[in-house]
């Protein structure tokens, strides 16, 4: 008699069936149904896959939700989004009798579906819901929260994550003034979401199609506020722009048109939204190869500046001509862009006498901005990583994080904004051209004024997340005593907080020569990140570069030793 290999005992199959019963999406239903059948028939591969999808749940934190699209509690899908929308609605209704929410979405797979689900569920719960008129950049949504006086905002996007990901980002209005959520609010919303997931089928949640569609005046107001950063008489530079297959081009084009700026060529292969991101292996301007098409077009038109946005246009990268580079262009680091934009903001704040004006950056960004602030008599604030913290600094005139995020127009957007940052940098470069200077020469002037700052980053990308924990544990329990030939004088474990900072999973290594290393797990991607900063007088730049390279080499070797155990 043949052996019956049917698997009916594993509870994960019942969990998956319960999820399947409330899934309104035909694609994920079919995907999950196949897995359930295979698992029930004895497939260990299918059982393992179900465990990977249901053993955990995408946690709702200060970055909202973000993960790979697919069926299951550990994936992004319509069930999870419906639970999040209902939980957020309950949170809003508990603190406001007549709350409102504005909802935006980008061009990723299912972004529009998740956004409409959110609008219907919010309206069904009794929250005034306003859906942006079409796919638009994240900064437009962040702007709309304040512009419309909404209680909250939801942006459906996975920003610069891999193509198969999507996400759900939450902003709060009123006292939070359009910033992203921070603790303890994220935990309070998470509790409501978990209650919905535990007690209700998403098919039973009330829905309504009475939500509103925002008109073009919202986009027009954002365009007007952003175009004001670029003087209409600015010198014309030849500029290449890429949207990286995202949603930035339409809005960026409207801004430069409003500013009467004409010399911008868009990379045609990457201009329109495409959820497959066909010309890049990873849709992040920081990744190797991401700007290859931009370089090619820039060489063709003789561009003086390259501006790149990530897919939801909240981040921005710059490249400038460089005769020594094989591509003919050099991509600036996030810190270099931050220095120049911060320097300009400091000059303007000092000139205008802005009361209590502050410059801010995250703890993993270069310390150079602090030197600039001191020089101009401004406050300097270091925050935890993430613009949810940067945007909340009182009297902020400029803030940035080294991961190519910049806040240049805090009166309009309380979040990083890759479009306004691109426009602000274009204005800076145009003014330099009027004075007979290039961006490269501006960087030289910065070094002469404030000293030499060498910054680098090492990312350890993993497929097994436990490896990140292992490396961080080893760094805590057996930290290196020297890095780059320099003695490590002190190690701060930021899990316990420091300098008025909330606790965070990060380590700061201070070296005897003033160098600094930060180590932390990425909040959005499966990798451990090291941030290295070396400071020296301008005349000692070569020595500083050598120390930087040696520190990076030592950190790489340390991580590899842990990984090979």
Instruction: Please tell me the distance from the alpha carbon of residue 129 to that of residue 235, in angstroms, as a whole number.
Output: 43
Non-local CB neighbours of 155 within 8 Å, separated by 6+ positions: 103, 104, 105, 106, 138, 141, 142, 168, 169, 171, 312
Q: Please check whether residue 92 is in contact with residue 173, taking contact to mean a CB–CB distance below 8 angstroms.
A: no
Look at residue 353 and give its three-state secondary structure: coil
With a CB cutoff of 8 Å and minimum separation 6, the contacts of 519 are 472, 475, 506, 507, 509, 528, 529, 530, 531, 555
Reduced 3-state DSSP string for 178-207: CEECCCCHHHHHHHHHHHHHHHCCHHHCCC
Q: How many CA atoms lie less than 13 Å away from 107 in the CB half-sphere? A: 24
Catalytic center residues? 159
Burial of residue 259, with CB atoms counted within 10 A of its CB: 0-12 exposed, 13-18 middle, 19 or more buried: buried
CB-count burial class (<10 Å; 0-12, 13-18, 19+) for 488? middle
CA atoms within 13 A on the CB side of 300: 10
Please, what is the Cα angle at 167 between 164 and 172, to 5 degrees?
165
Nearest CA-CA partner of 412 in 132, 139, 98: 139
Tokens of 367: 């310390």
Residue 123 tokens, joined? 């309206």
């Amino acid at each position: 008699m043949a052996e019956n290999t049917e698997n009916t005992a594993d509870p994960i199959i019942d969990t998956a069936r319960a999820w399947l019963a409330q899934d309104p999406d035909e694609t994920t239903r079919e995907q999950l149904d196949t897995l359930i059948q295979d698992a029930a028939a004895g497939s260990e591969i299918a059982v393992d896959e179900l465990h990977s999808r249901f053993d955990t749940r995408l946690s709702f934190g200060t970055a909202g939700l973000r993960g790979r699209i697919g069926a299951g509690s550990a994936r992004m899908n319509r069930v999870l989004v419906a639970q999040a929308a209902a939980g957020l609605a309950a949170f809003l209704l508990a603190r406001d009798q007549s709350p409102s929410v504005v909802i935006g979405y980008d061009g990723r797979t299912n972004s529009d579906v998740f956004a409409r689900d959110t609008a219907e569920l919010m309206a069904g719960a009794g929250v005034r819901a306003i859906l942006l008129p079409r796919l638009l950049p994240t900064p437009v949504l962040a702007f709309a929260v304040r512009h419309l006086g909404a209680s909250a905002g939801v942006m459906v996007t996975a920003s610069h994550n891999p193509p198969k990901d999507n996400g759900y980002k939450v902003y709060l209005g009123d006292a939070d003034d359009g910033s992203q959520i921070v603790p303890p609010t994220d935990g309070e919303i998470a509790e409501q979401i978990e209650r919905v997931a535990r007690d209700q089928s998403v098919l039973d949640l009330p829905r309504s199609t009475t939500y509103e569609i925002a008109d073009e005046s919202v986009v027009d107001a954002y365009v007007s506020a952003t175009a004001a950063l670029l003087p209409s008489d600015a010198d014309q530079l030849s500029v290449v722009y890429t949207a990286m297959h995202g949603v930035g081009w339409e809005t960026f084009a409207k801004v430069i048109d409003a500013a009467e700026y004409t010399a911008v060529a868009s990379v045609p292969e990457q201009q329109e939204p495409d959820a497959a991101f066909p010309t890049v292996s990873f849709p992040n301007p920081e990744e190797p190869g991401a700007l290859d098409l931009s370089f090619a077009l820039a060489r063709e038109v003789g561009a003086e500046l390259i501006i790149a946005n990530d897919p939801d246009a909240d981040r921005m990268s710059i490249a400038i001509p460089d005769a020594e580079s094989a591509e003919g262009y050099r991509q600036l680091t996030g810190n270099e862009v931050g220095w120049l934009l911060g320097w300009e903001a400091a000059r303007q704040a000092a000139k205008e006498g802005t009361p209590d004006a502050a410059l801010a950056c995250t703890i993993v960004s270069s310390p150079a901005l602090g030197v600039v602030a001191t020089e101009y008599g401004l406050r300097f604030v270091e925050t935890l990583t993430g613009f949810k913290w940067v945007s909340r600094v009182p009297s902020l005139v400029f803030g940035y994080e080294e991961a190519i995020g910049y806040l240049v127009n805090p009166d309009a957007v309380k979040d990083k904004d890759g479009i306004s940052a691109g426009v602000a940098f274009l204005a800076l470069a145009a003014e330099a051209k009027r004075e007979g200077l290039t961006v490269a020469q501006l960087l030289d002037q910065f070094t002469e004024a404030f000293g030499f700052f060498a910054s680098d980053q090492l990312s350890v990308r993993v497929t097994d997340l436990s490896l990140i924990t292992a490396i961080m544990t080893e760094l805590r329990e057996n930290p290196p005593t020297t890095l780059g030939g320099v003695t490590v004088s002190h190690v701060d474990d930021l899990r316990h907080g420091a300098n008025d900072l909330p606790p965070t999973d990060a380590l700061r290594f201070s070296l005897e020569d003033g160098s600094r290393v930060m180590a932390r797990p990425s909040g959005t991607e499966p990798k451990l990140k090291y941030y290295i900063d070396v400071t020296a007088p301008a005349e000692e730049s070569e020595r500083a570069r050598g120390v930087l390279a040696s520190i990076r080499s030592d950190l790489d070797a340390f991580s590899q030793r842990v990984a090979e155990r």
